[in-house]
Amino acid sequence: MKILLLEHPRSISAERCNDIANAPLSACLLSGYAAGMLKSQGYEVEIVEGYLEKLSYKEILERVRTVKPDVLGVHMVYHWKSDSKLYDFLENIKNEGIAPYITAYGFYPTFAYQGILQECPVIDSVILGEPELTFAELAEALSCHASPEDVRGLAYRDEQAKIVYSRRELVEDLDSLPFPVRTDVSFSIGEVNILGSRGCYGACTFCYINPFYGRGSKWRARSPENIVAEIDEIISERNMRYFYFTDPNFFGPGGRGQERALRLASLLKSRNIRFGIEARVNDIHDQTIAALVEAGLRHILIGLESGKDESLKRLNKMTTVAQNESALKILRKNGIEPNIGFIMFEPDSTLEDIRINFEFLKRNHLLKNLETTVNVLYHHQIILQGTKAYKMLQEEGRLEISPYSIYEASTAYANSQVATLARIMRDITNYIFSRLEEIWNGKVAEPEEASEKYAKINRLLVEWFENILTDLENGKNFSDEEKNVYVRDAEKAIDEVLNC
């Protein structure tokens, strides 16, 4: 049996350039892990990198025609719109008879399977949660010409066209999984993504990591020895030396999590690699960070989310402002300036919340670099299906479903003044992203005196935020025209800096 796995083309519109959570980074290895499992079962598997290779659907169609797979698996990633091009492509595939069975998998279809199966009749099923075991059982059933109705972890239409589904148990022993298959183009991005653990012991209201894995899910880890074996294999075959752990929660809980990280650091120390991780602030301990830095740690993303304890409780972060500040100090002590996750604008934010957040960012020297500032001075709470926030707002009657998909939702700000600040800052920061996108992506050379220009725009951005916030605190009401004028003036100022 031949199986083709597709990473479909996708794009983000300019207005969504700072909406970074449409799929977690760990999703990037779903096709690789599915391919690894399927190959271990004796199936012929090919991955088509429509996204990384920037392929058109016409080019992908030719690839599919060449392979003529028995099963086409599509890793569906939501990109903030109705993906009619993908659906039309799949309809052509099915109508030509070159892929008789189509299944979808990923974070988006795990939550939005009902809508997907209703909107795209040629998709035969959706794999829910971890794809490896379900995909292997599905392939076995299809190869034996059996019905997939007994395959756990699958959503599909029954004989009465009713959508039925089941969830399966988690993979308890991650070391038992074959290493993910990596395509040639996946090595061209400058880093090797690697997954050392799955799940999270947290329960943040805005996060859908654990709901993806299923009810009762928990943080599970590969052994340090198994991780290093994969790294050694990649070094031997590709001589790649920079790795990024896509784990949403690198450390895991408590003392055992720290001990495991120290063990991994001891094994990595002799490999002469560099790597990045993502972590919760309460897991940032001086001894462990020092050991990881000695082993090659150079980049880290930590989710601060807020500078106010009440907001952290509202988000169910199970962390405190004191822990946020302690993590920053420990990382800087060890020579690492972290990337940060921050939610400046929550649906129920007040101007006082915004002021406290702003002062927290200033106090902790987090508004010094334009790439950070442009992110943290406007980032709203993204609301996607599967999260606690989605469910709570739905129960409160405040959820506004996107016209594109029930997967995406929004809600009006409870405070109109917060809404004004959010609207202005979203427009200004999006303009900065659009002006600098190709430079920051390395497609265009930086302008002369780039650092000085970025520093000036950074100062202006902080100044604009504080001025608007102060005006709102003093009772000023901005008309729509005044908001538009403010944004236009800011855009002109940015252009003047970059063009001088």
Q: Give the CATH number for residue 87.
A: 3.40.50.2300
Identify whether 180 is part of a domain. no
Identify whether 410 is part of a domain. no
Which residues contact residue 46 at a Cβ distance below 8 angstroms, ignoring those fewer than 6 apart? Answer: 2, 3, 4, 5, 67, 69
| The pLDDT value given to residue 268 | 98
Q: In whole angstroms, what is the distance from residue 35 CA to residue 236 CA? A: 21
At 148, phi and psi to the nearest 5? -80, 5
Number of domains in the chain: 3
pLDDT at 20 over 70: no
Q: Which amino acid is at 214?
A: G
* pLDDT range class, residue 22, cuts 50, 70, 90: confident
- What is the distance between the terminal CA atoms of the chain, rounded to a whole angstrom? 61
pLDDT at 445 over 90: no
| pLDDT tens-digit readout, 203-228 | 999 999 999 998 767 899 999 999 99
| The pLDDT value given to residue 500 | 85
The mean pLDDT value for 351-378 works out to 97
- Asked if residue 14 and residue 145 are part of one domain, the reply reads yes
| The pLDDT value given to residue 21 | 63
Identify whether 296 is part of a domain. yes
| pLDDT tens-digit readout, 479-492 | 999 999 999 999 99
- Asked if residue 354 and residue 317 are part of one domain, the reply reads no
- Asked if residue 132 and residue 29 are part of one domain, the reply reads yes
pLDDT at 140 over 90: yes
Structure tokens at 484: 């538009």
Rounded to two decimals, the pTM is: 0.95
| The pLDDT value given to residue 443 | 81
| The pLDDT value given to residue 14 | 72
Weakest mean pLDDT among 84-88, 315-319, 435-439: 435-439
Within a 13 Å sphere around the CA of 486, how many CA atoms are in the beta-carbon half? 24
| pLDDT tens-digit readout, 227-280 | 999 999 999 999 999 999 999 999 999 999 999 999 999 999 999 999 999 999
- Asked if residue 458 and residue 321 are part of one domain, the reply reads no
| pLDDT tens-digit readout, 383-429 | 999 999 999 999 999 999 999 999 999 999 999 999 999 999 999 99
Identify whether 398 is part of a domain. no
pLDDT at 455 over 70: yes
Q: How deeply is 369 buried, as exposed, middle or buried, from its count of CB atoms within 10 A (0-12, 13-18, 19+)?
A: middle
The mean pLDDT value for 439-451 works out to 86
Weakest mean pLDDT among 40-54, 101-115, 190-204, 434-448: 434-448
pLDDT greater at residue 82 or residue 319:
319
**Do residues 127 and 104 touch, judged by C-beta distance below 8 A?**
yes
- Asked if residue 158 and residue 32 are part of one domain, the reply reads yes
| The pLDDT value given to residue 61 | 97
**Domain ends where: 317, 343, 369?**
343
| The pLDDT value given to residue 7 | 97
The mean pLDDT value for 130-138 works out to 98
Which residues contact residue 55 at a Cβ distance below 8 angstroms, ignoring those fewer than 6 apart? Answer: 9, 48, 49, 63
Identify whether 124 is part of a domain. yes
Identify whether 93 is part of a domain. yes
The mean pLDDT value for 83-94 works out to 96
Q: In whole angstroms, what is the distance from residue 468 CA to residue 372 CA? A: 20
Q: In whole angstroms, what is the distance from residue 131 CA to residue 106 CA? A: 8
| The pLDDT value given to residue 15 | 74
| pLDDT tens-digit readout, 104-119 | 999 999 999 999 999 9
The mean pLDDT value for 152-172 works out to 94
Answer positive or negative: Cα dihedral of 219, 204, 379, 320. negative
The mean pLDDT value for 366-372 works out to 96
Which residues contact residue 159 at a Cβ distance below 8 angstroms, ignoring those fewer than 6 apart? Answer: none
- Asked if residue 210 and residue 131 are part of one domain, the reply reads no
- Asked if residue 157 and residue 58 are part of one domain, the reply reads yes
- Asked if residue 219 and residue 302 are part of one domain, the reply reads yes
Q: In whole angstroms, what is the distance from residue 379 CA to residue 366 CA? A: 14
- Asked if residue 497 and residue 350 are part of one domain, the reply reads yes
Identify whether 65 is part of a domain. yes
- Asked if residue 425 and residue 366 are part of one domain, the reply reads yes
| pLDDT tens-digit readout, 57-78 | 999 999 999 999 999 999 999 9
Which residues contact residue 207 at a Cβ distance below 8 angstroms, ignoring those fewer than 6 apart? Answer: 200, 248, 387
Identify whether 357 is part of a domain. yes
pLDDT at 437 over 90: no
| The pLDDT value given to residue 102 | 98
Residue 253's domain spans which residues? 190-343
**How many residues in total does the chain contain?**
500
Mean pLDDT of the chain: 95
- Asked if residue 493 and residue 350 are part of one domain, the reply reads yes
The mean pLDDT value for 182-207 works out to 95
* pLDDT range class, residue 23, cuts 50, 70, 90: confident
Q: Give the CATH number for residue 302.
A: 3.20.20.70
Tell me how many degrees the CA angle 108-111-116 measures, rounded to the nearest 5: 70
- Asked if residue 129 and residue 220 are part of one domain, the reply reads no
Q: In whole angstroms, what is the distance from residue 126 CA to residue 138 CA? A: 11
Weakest mean pLDDT among 120-124, 216-220, 233-237, 281-285: 216-220
The mean pLDDT value for 185-189 works out to 94
Structure tokens at 142: 């299809």
The mean pLDDT value for 447-467 works out to 96
* pLDDT range class, residue 86, cuts 50, 70, 90: very high
Q: Which of 461, 473, 476 is nearest to 352 (CA)?
A: 473
